[in-house]
Structure 1
Amino acid sequence: MKRVSLAISLILFGTMAASAADLAAHYTKAPVMAPSYNWTGFYVGGNVGGQWGSSNSNTSTVFDPFGYFADTSVTAVNAVGAQHINSSSVTGGLTAGYNWQVNNAVFGFQGDINYFGFKGSATGSAVYPCCAPVGFTVNSSVSADWLATIRGRIGVLATPNWLIYATGGAAIADVKGDFTFTDGFMTESGAIRDTRVGWTAGVGGEYAVGNGWSLKAEYLYVDLGRASMRSTNLGGVFGPFPASVFTHSADLKSNIVRVGVNYNFGGPAVARY
């Protein structure tokens, strides 16, 4: 009887040991957490690209009985003075901003300053309707060396590392315009020097490559509005004619495409499973 009891005890002990070994073999570790890029934080960066812009420059005068021009001459001068300028150039500069991330939404603000490189000129000539073959020439040039923007930005995360956004705000540039009129006997000139505040809007995409770095591509449309000035300095062989008032004006619009790199000083990555 003792031998039977001992045998049964050995069998039960072996069964329990096997069950314990089987449980150990099926032990599963907790899943490893993978880091997700955190868009929140202050960032700085640089960009390079190109701009394709235009300016509608205008030189016009008015008829005055005590002025230099006949009424038909005023019409001719104003027609030739309506000119169009195209410009394209390489742009590049620096940017800085701050992002807030809320779930899959990212919003914030940024500012940048760039070499703009807008520069162009136009010229036109015609014969006075009243006084052929005497003719006249109108010249205009418009330029803006730099462009700064202050913009809001709002976007959505297509993936944790891929941001698609819209942006808009103020555009600022120092617009310069130079204008001359001459007919061989009389000349007139005017100049515009105006720090213009206009608007800009666009779209872009930014991809986080890790360790705080991201790459971006962006399109912006810029409209700096119209600047103008008046001149009464027509003079020459026949003396001054202050009654012949000239008005000079120019607007400036541009399309900008650029790529860049940003470094985000934000907090640590957010863990996700």
Structure 2
Amino acid sequence: MKEVLLCTVALFAQTASVSAADLVAKALPMVTPIYDWSGCYTGINGGFGSAHQCWHVVNVGDLVVAPPLVMGCHSSTGGTACGQIGYRWQIANSVFGLEAEGNWADFKGSNANLAFAGVQDESRIDGFGLFTGQVGYTKNNVLFCTKGGAAGVRDKYRVFDLATRLTIDNGSETLWGSAVGAGLELGCAPNWSVGIEYDHVFMGRRDMDFFCPTALVGVSAGGRAGTARISQDVDIGLVRANYSRSDAVAKY
């Protein structure tokens, strides 16, 4: 009888222990990873861009053209690729950051010159840089971000004879303007994220001097052929991948 009583007590104690463990497990909340966007990151990007330009001639040699004559407008389009580096701070669901982006580009286009018959105007962007601040909102591993700041663009220009393709005059410059943009980024693995981005660059209007590579009537080789007033805006679409150097990208 004593043995039966001991077995009953032991079985009851074991059952109570298992039930208590089940209750504790059920009481504990499920722990899910929380994506943290804070920290330094570097990345690569690639995409497409289009620069819309309008030209007006304001000088031919030393002769002032008033009012300026319309030379025409065109869009320079093409591909772009390179990378970015930045740093972000996350406070609750808000994200703030700074980023520098530098890209090789091949945006090229031309139009028939409306002021001078038989002449073609051509422009090319072979590089640009964006230096921007960021403000974003995150929901775990999804980040929507807006950006704004300064932009630099490297432009090359050429005026050539349409029949022979020979260059009449050309010029180049690095100019500065402003940029705004927005993007969506997804944290897809520890330390890695991918996203898409759109940027618009405002280059404004400026006067650009053109020079003759060879001697022309009244102008020696290397002399100033004239001045064109050029306005320009640039649109850029990119696909990006970033690697974060933070040790706390995924928190539990």
TM range (shorter): 0.7 to 0.9
5 Å-filtered alignment, 1:217-232, equals 217-229=196-208
Residue 49 of structure 2 aligns with which residue? 51
1:168 aligns with 2:148: yes
C-alpha distance in 1 between matches for 2:193 and 2:211:
55
- For 1:231 and 1:118, how far apart are their aligned partners in 2? 20
Query: Residue 83 of structure 1 is aligned with which of 69, 72, 79?
Result: 72
- Alpha-carbon RMSD: 3.4
Residue equivalent to 2:38: 40
The answer to whether the 8 Å contact 1:165/1:204 transfers is yes
Count of aligned positions: 232
- The answer to whether structure 1 residue 151 and structure 2 residue 132 are counterparts is yes
Residues 171 and 209 in structure 2, CA contact (< 8 A), matched pair in contact too: no
For normalisation by structure 2, the TM-score amounts to 0.77
Give the TM-score of the pair, scaled to structure 1.
0.72
Query: Quick check: 1:197 aligned with 2:176?
Result: yes
- Alpha-carbon deviation of 1:148? 0.7
Give the match for residue 130 of structure 1: none
**Residues 32 and 61 (structure 1 numbering): CA distance in 2 closer, same or farther, change over 3 Å?**
closer
Contact map agreement 1:45 1:263 (CA 8 A) in 2: yes
How far 1:156 moved relative to its partner?
Answer: 0.5
Identical aligned residues as a percent? 26
Corresponding residue for residue 222 of structure 2 = none
The answer to whether residue 95 in structure 2 is matched with residue 106 in structure 1 is: yes
Flag the 1:269–1:120 CA change in 2: closer, same or farther, 3 A: closer
Gaps of 5+ in 2: 162-167, 220-224
Task: Say whether the 8 Å CA contact 2:79–2:107 is kept in structure 1.
Answer: no
Matches within 5 A, 1:172-191: 172-179=152-159, 191=170
The amino acid that maps onto 2:88 is N
Shift of 1:141: 2.3
Matched, 1:122 2:111: yes
Aligned to 1:92, which of 65, 81, 88?
81
Where 1:55 maps in the other structure, the secondary structure is strand
Give the drift of 1:199: 0.9
Q: 1:109-153: per-residue Cα shift (whole Å, max 9, x none)?
A: 111111222222222357xxxxxxxx8555432222001111111
Letter of the structure 2 residue corresponding to residue 205 of structure 1? L
Does the 8 A contact of 1:194 with 1:227 survive in 2?
no
Q: Which protein has the larger Cα radius of gyration, Structure 1 or Structure 2?
A: 1
**Unaligned runs of at least 5 residues, structure 1:** 1-5, 127-134, 182-188
Q: Which amino acid aligns with 1:175?
A: D
